[in-house]
Structure 1
Amino acid sequence: MTTENSPQRVRFGTQVDAEVLESARATVLALQRLLGPRVSLASFTTDALAEHVRRAEREYNDGQPFGSDGARLPTGPRIGAGDVAEPPRSP
């Protein structure tokens, strides 16, 4: 897990399914009991995002980092993109 002292940490806000967040929180609490307080929701989330990025780079970009042109991500309802993102769920 990453440490709370990692350089260049920034606040990151997004919306996630309530079930995913609850599962992540329960997992972090269990890991804290097993491994101690060095595990946090922030470190758990950072590690999960980093792993997902590495997987996407391997699968879709010959293992190379995706470049950034500085464009902002679109906001609003999710747009499905195959295995990378799922389409919105019906209420």
Structure 2
Amino acid sequence: ARSLAKVGCGVASSDTDIRISPMVSNNGPTAIDPIDDHRIAMAMAVLGTKRKGVSIVNPNCVTKSYPSFWTDLRKVFEGRDEA
């Protein structure tokens, strides 16, 4: 939830649920620290394909579950125009 809020999403949570609303602003460059959680790093990397300026602190933490993640993510977007 903290990472989503940091990139400009609305986030509200309770003991039983979390509500996420679309990004409403671009606060400029944002460094996300996944605290060595490969799942957060990968999720925020995908989000970063739609919001400019997102960077991941310690991106190598993804190697524990998906060593080729960064290469594969680049391949998905190779040759695509930025929209």
TM-score (norm 2): 0.24
Greater radius of gyration (CA): 1
Larger proportion of helix: 1
Larger proportion of strand: 2
